[in-house]
Structure 1
Amino acid sequence: MRLGGRIAAAVEVIEDMTARRRPVADALKDWGLAHRFAGSGDRSAIGNMVYDVLRRRRSLAHRMGSEAPAALVFGAVLDAGVAPEQLRSALEGDRFAPPLPSDEVLARFLSPASLEGAPEAVAADVPDWLAAPLAASLGTDWVREARALSDRPPLDMRANLLKSTREEVLSELAPFAAAPTPLSPWGLRIAPIEGEGRHPNVQVERGFQTGLFEIQDEGSQIAALLAGAAPGSRILDYCAGAGGKTLALAAATGNAAEIHAFDADRQRLAPIWDRLARAGTEGVTVHAPRDDLSPLHDGMDLVLVDAPCTGAGTWRRRPDAKWRLSESQLQKRTEEQDKVLSNAARFVKPGRRLAYVTCSVLREENAARVEAFLSREPGFRLADAETIWRERLPEAAAAYHAERIGEGAVLTLTPLRSGTDGFFFAMLERTA
């Protein structure tokens, strides 16, 4: 397909999403099934355009002077580095291409002052209602923080130390220019894609198939590392999901810990079995939603709660989620988080720890939930997560937002500060 046909296809996908209120992945999949002549390169380029529009929909509309899908796609193409003269040349004589915007529109879009006078929520590419929560969560620089959540993400992986080393996996992935992550000692990174490019499908590589590495954002790796799993300890991954952090905890302890993985959603838990087998983990017991966990009460050295959340830290990868998020959904999530934390607290042995993690940057889901928990649970206190960072990551920069709560502190990672997805970490200690 020529560029004009790809632009027209991206417009069609966005119109379908808008009309039917459906997730971007479903709309792209259906378009591909209905247009089987499109090659993998075409589908990748179309997907890039659609995702770029979703990441920066409001700022693109402001700069183009229009919210029409065609205007947004042209804006995304220009924003990805295609010059106007290249665009004109590529679309000349292409009967499938939408009409090219006027020279005046193109000049205004590319002007350094194209976002001058835009409301902060527009410049930040978020719904209006999220401006206040993001400002309260990320401080005076929140617009730049939110814009970083609209960038294309890298592809991060974690070397599985049960089977390999980071250096060996780097050698395996040398054809893809993988490099060590700057913070996690386990991590590898392939840089964000440029233009019409795409990340390699590393899941078909020998190293992935044989369990030498897993796909896992560096922020998620750091959360598992800060949790401080130790050999010989008893650990409960209370919201295990597909098992990413369970695998990281098993590798961190060298298969020398007793680990229990539980999730209330059977479907989320389903992939864990294959992943555990591929990674070569031992000592991991998986508990289904209806299993009786009462024998584990008061018996865990570490309970990790990667709580259900809005995913407001993963907008680089799931940009359609920020446009679907509502205030009522945020309220529902905070209620679920309070319940999950209270349930998980029952498993912590006196004197031991509970790590609370989310992939959100919103204070309502993070520090506010810790404050609410401490008010309900006087037998817990908040540890100083900055001290934990220095102990666990002695060579890493302090690439986080820290907030003091009483004598303790909590941390928030962001794309702008740490180069990771948005993640929150707090460590709670049971004192009685």
Structure 2
Amino acid sequence: MTPAARISAAIEVLADIDARRRPATDALKDWGLAHRFAGSKDRAAIASLVYDALRRKASAAWIMGENTPRAIVLGMLRLQRGLGARDIAALCSGERFAPEPLAENERERLEKADLSGAPAHVAGDFPDWIEPSLQRLFGEDLAPEMQALATRAPLDLRVNTLKVSSREEAHDALPHLGAVETPLSPLGLRIMPGEDGRGPAVQSEPEFLKGWIEIQDEGSQLVALLSGARPGEQVVDLCAGGGGKTLALAAMMENHGQIYATDNDARRLAPIHDRLTRAGVRNVQVRTPRAKADAVTDLDGRMDCVLVDAPCTGIGTWRRNPDAKWRLRPGSLETRRKEQATVLDRAAALVKPGGRIVYITCSILPEENDDALSAFMERHEGFASKPVAQVLGAVGLTHLADVVRPTAHGLQMTPLKTGTDGFYAAVLVRKP
């Protein structure tokens, strides 16, 4: 397919997403099934165009003066990919499979491409109804923070110290991937996306299959480290899902002590068993709930650490899931807040006196972070948040103090400040 034909395809996919209100992955899959002549490189390039358009949907529509799939793709080519009006016009020739030629007003708007005077939710490409919440956290930094959340994300790897002696050893084994050491996590390697937005097929690498590395955002690595999990401790990963942070905790604990991994949705636990085996983890019990029965009742009051990777809106992952931002609704936030309260209350029963709850979200909304913890501590008088400086000092991550955004109860990481996904973390200590 020609570059122009790929642009036409991206416009078609965006129209399908709008008409049927469904995830981009589904629309792209259906397009590929209906156009089997398109090769893997074509499909990857089209997906990249679609995701870039979704990243810049509001700002692209603003500069083009309309909110159609065509306008959004054209505006994205100007804002996200830096093409000039002349280059875009050359792609829109109207020839076979190419988009229709630019109208005069389209050409004028592409030449101007002016976001000055645009509202914050347009300049930052996010739904306008969450602006008051974001303003509470970011203040004058709102637009640049959200613009950073609209960029492409790198592919980060965590080196598994249960299988390999050092990050350097893993790095030296993967020279062909072009990986560099992550700046904040002592365990991370980073691979920047290619021109098409894709990274290498890491899962097929021998080192991945041997369990040397795991795919995990640097921010996720850091919040796991902030738990301070130590060999010999008793730990519950209460929202373990596929096990990414469970694996990180096991490596921190050097396979000594015990981790109980559970989740209220048994289906989410399905991948964890194979991942534990591949990573060489031996100190994890997977507790699968049955018929909605609590799988960790026998552990109440015994845990040194309860990790709560809480259900949330996932706003902090918008670099990786740009279509999710436009599907977010106020009702979703309220549902997540209720779920967060439920899981925090469950964690309170598990942790022993003197123990700690490590609360994590991949959100940047105060309602899901500090507000959730304030409400929790009103319900449970025996808990207090640990000062950020003490949390960082206890785990040897004092260098984070210069880049994270301290909050009332914890810390916030963002693409602008830390180069990671948008993670929040706080440590709550139960009084002895």
**What TM-score comes out, normalization by structure 2 length?**
0.95
**Distance of aligned partners of 1:192 and 1:230 in 2 relative to their CA distance in 1, 3 Å threshold:** same
Match of 2:191 in 1: 190
Match of 1:101 in 2: 102
Does residue 163 of structure 2 align to residue 163 of structure 1?
yes
**Distance of aligned partners of 1:110 and 1:300 in 2 relative to their CA distance in 1, 3 Å threshold:** farther
- Report deviation, 1:320: 1.3
User: Aligned pairs, how many?
Assistant: 426
- Report deviation, 1:396: 4.3
SS in 2 for 1:427: strand
- Report deviation, 1:35: 1.2
Deviating more after overlay: 207-216 vs 139-148: 139-148
- Report deviation, 1:397: 5.3
Matches of 1:159 and 1:280, distance apart in 2: 13
Match of 2:383 in 1: 380
Aligned residue type for 1:186: L
Does residue 308 of structure 2 align to residue 305 of structure 1?
yes
Match of 1:151 in 2: 151
Aligned residue type for 1:40: S
Aligned residue type for 1:402: P
Matches of 1:381 and 1:261, distance apart in 2: 25
- Report deviation, 1:138: 2.2
Aligned residue type for 1:403: T
SS in 2 for 1:425: strand
Aligned residue type for 2:374: E
Does residue 12 of structure 2 align to residue 47 of structure 1?
no
Q: Confirm or deny: 8 A CA contact 1:182 1:396 kept in the other structure.
A: no
Does residue 407 of structure 2 align to residue 403 of structure 1?
yes
- Report deviation, 1:110: 4.8
Matches of 2:203 and 2:154, distance apart in 1: 15
Unaligned runs of 5+ in 1: none
Aligned residue type for 2:388: A
Does residue 322 of structure 2 align to residue 343 of structure 1?
no
Matches of 1:422 and 1:319, distance apart in 2: 13
Matches of 1:214 and 1:356, distance apart in 2: 22
Match of 1:180 in 2: 181
TM-align CA RMSD: 1.6
Unaligned runs of 5+ in 2: none
Deviations 1:144-183 (A, max 9, x none): 1111111111111101110112112212332121111110
Match of 2:275 in 1: 275
Deviating more after overlay: 135-144 vs 273-282: 135-144
**Distance of aligned partners of 1:254 and 1:15 in 2 relative to their CA distance in 1, 3 Å threshold:** same
Matches of 1:91 and 1:107, distance apart in 2: 15
Matches of 2:402 and 2:218, distance apart in 1: 15
Percent of pairs with identical residues: 50
Deviating more after overlay: 156-165 vs 131-140: 131-140
Q: How does 1:121-136 map to 2 (within 5 A)?
A: 121-136=121-136
- Report deviation, 1:107: 4.9
**Distance of aligned partners of 1:173 and 1:76 in 2 relative to their CA distance in 1, 3 Å threshold:** farther
Matches of 2:5 and 2:191, distance apart in 1: 29
Moved over 6 A (4+): none
Q: Confirm or deny: 8 A CA contact 1:386 1:410 kept in the other structure.
A: no
- Report deviation, 1:197: 4.8
Residue number among 368, 383, 395 corresponding to 1:365 in the alignment: 368
Q: How does 1:317-356 map to 2 (within 5 A)?
A: 317-356=320-359
Q: Confirm or deny: 8 A CA contact 1:385 1:425 kept in the other structure.
A: no
**What TM-score comes out, normalization by structure 1 length?**
0.95
SS in 2 for 1:157: strand
- Report deviation, 1:108: 3.4
Match of 2:139 in 1: 139
**Distance of aligned partners of 1:264 and 1:100 in 2 relative to their CA distance in 1, 3 Å threshold:** same
SS in 1 for 2:398: coil
Q: Confirm or deny: 8 A CA contact 1:64 1:106 kept in the other structure.
A: no
